[in-house]
């Protein structure tokens, strides 16, 4: 939120507004409210379109149906649920500073917010582990990252939905700080739960991801040198048509995927660090400024779920080929599903 939205806050006052709802007296001018809501809904639309494109591409193109992309597919499913269920209701709440859907829906929305964003974090950690094996031990990748191992990682990522159900749905009065205005649905948890959640659900995976991606970066640099070494004799092949050795193509594909997913990890850090800081400040300080900071930082986490598919589609050559095939209409031609997406112009 920016100062030009003409916001006047009075957190100690609940006003009977919007058909009798008791909400904090925060007034946006109609034009400012419309602008804010429109901007937030643009993020929702980008989230839905981008993640739907990733899901459709993996399900349609056989070249994208790999073990690594199984994690990308599951990540896109998590992120599209954030865009379809969590973000629209949060956008309305931000624009009107009121929750219109009842207390039960507030609990459900809070549960989905916490659990789906945590699931997205867990997916990125699993992607980091997968890339570490693919680059660090490529000869034993298929032996170590089996379909059963991928299924286990995906299952563990989705367990966050059950993990958050107990404290949020069953023990709401215990972990939540009472609100002065009952229809705000501005969730503030107690200090103990906030710190435990920050450490276990975000700080620990973040530390693991930073360490793993640092290792992957070093491995990718070494891999890049090997790719260049293999590319040199190929470029001067006698036939002049640049035949590509299968090993080089496989290494190039792994290298490209690693750079893409490394970028995802970097964007994750940028989007989530503000939330760590804001949530800690809110729990310890409880000031109006800290609460506003959490509102803004929370949307950074939603933006992370929106940016993930955009980065995948734009930075990964195979996904870029799938996007070009779809937009050009050639996706409906025969054998397009079996084509080599790296060869698409």
Q: What is the pLDDT of residues 292-337, one digit of tens each?
A: 777 888 899 999 999 999 888 887 888 888 888 888 888 777 788 8
- The pLDDT of residue 233 is 58
Cα 158 from Cα 156, distance rounded (Å): 5
Tokens of 342: 């790296």
Least confident window among 14-28, 164-178, 226-240? 226-240
The residue among 12, 181, 35, 189 whose CA lies nearest residue 97 is: 181
Residue 324 CB neighbour total at 10 angstroms: 14
Question: Does residue 153 have a pLDDT over 50?
Answer: yes
Q: Taking a C-beta distance cutoff of 8 angstroms, is the pair 37, 92 a contact? A: yes
Please name the helix (run of DSSP H) or strand (run of DSSP E) that holds residue 27, with its range, or none: strand 21-27
Q: pLDDT-based confidence at 254, cuts 50/70/90?
A: low
- The pLDDT of residue 11 is 43
Average pLDDT in the chain: 78
Give the model confidence (pLDDT) of 188-235 as tens digits.
777 777 777 777 777 788 788 878 877 877 776 776 676 666 655 555
Question: Does residue 148 have a pLDDT over 90?
Answer: yes
269-290 average pLDDT score: 73
Question: Does residue 166 have a pLDDT over 90?
Answer: no
Phi (first) and psi of residue 14, to 5 degrees: -105, 130
Q: Taking a C-beta distance cutoff of 8 angstroms, is the pair 111, 168 a contact? A: yes
- The pLDDT of residue 219 is 72
Cα-to-chain-centroid distance, residue 98: 26
**Residue carrying structure tokens 């229809």:** 183
Give the model confidence (pLDDT) of 56-73 as tens digits.
999 999 999 999 899 999
Q: Taking a C-beta distance cutoff of 8 angstroms, is the pair 305, 83 a contact? A: yes
Question: Does residue 281 have a pLDDT over 80?
Answer: no
Q: Where are the alpha helices (DSSP H) in 286-337?
A: 288-315, 317-327
Cα 54 from Cα 313, distance rounded (Å): 7
């Amino acid at each position: 939120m920016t100062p030009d939205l003409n916001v006047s806050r009075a957190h100690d006052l609940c006003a009977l507004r919007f058909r009798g709802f008791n909400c904090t007296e925060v007034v946006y001018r109609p034009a400012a409210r419309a602008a804010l809501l429109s901007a937030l809904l643009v993020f929702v639309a980008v989230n839905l379109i981008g993640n739907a494109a990733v899901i459709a591409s993996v399900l349609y193109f056989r070249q994208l149906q790999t073990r690594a992309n199984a994690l990308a597919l599951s990540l896109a499913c998590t992120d599209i649920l954030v865009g379809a269920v969590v973000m629209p209701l949060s956008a309305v709440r931000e624009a009107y500073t009121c929750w219109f859907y009842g207390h039960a829906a507030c609990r459900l929305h809070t549960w989905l917010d916490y659990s789906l964003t945590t699931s997205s974090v867990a997916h990125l950690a699993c992607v980091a582990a997968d890339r570490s094996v693919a680059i660090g031990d490529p000869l034993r990748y298929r032996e170590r990252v089996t379909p059963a191992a991928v299924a286990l990682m995906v299952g563990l990522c989705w367990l966050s939905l059950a993990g958050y159900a107990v404290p949020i749905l069953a023990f709401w009065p215990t972990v939540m700080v009472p609100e002065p205005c009952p229809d705000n649905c501005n969730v503030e948890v107690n200090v103990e739960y906030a710190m435990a959640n920050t450490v276990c659900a975000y700080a620990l995976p973040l530390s693991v991801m930073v360490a793993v991606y640092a290792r992957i970066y070093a491995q990718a640099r070494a891999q890049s040198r090997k790719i260049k070494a293999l590319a040199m004799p190929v470029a001067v092949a006698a036939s002049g048509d640049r035949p590509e050795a299968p090993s080089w193509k496989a290494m190039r594909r792994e290298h490209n995927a690693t750079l893409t997913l490394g970028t995802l990890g970097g964007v994750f850090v940028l989007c989530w660090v503000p939330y760590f800081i804001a949530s800690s400040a809110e729990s310890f300080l409880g000031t109006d400024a800290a609460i506003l900071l959490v509102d803004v930082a929370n949307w950074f986490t939603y933006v992370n779920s929106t940016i993930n598919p955009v980065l995948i589609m734009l930075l990964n050559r195979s996904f870029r080929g799938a996007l070009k095939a779809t937009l050009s209409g050639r996706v409906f031609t025969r054998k397009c599903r079996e084509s080599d997406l790296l060869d698409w112009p």
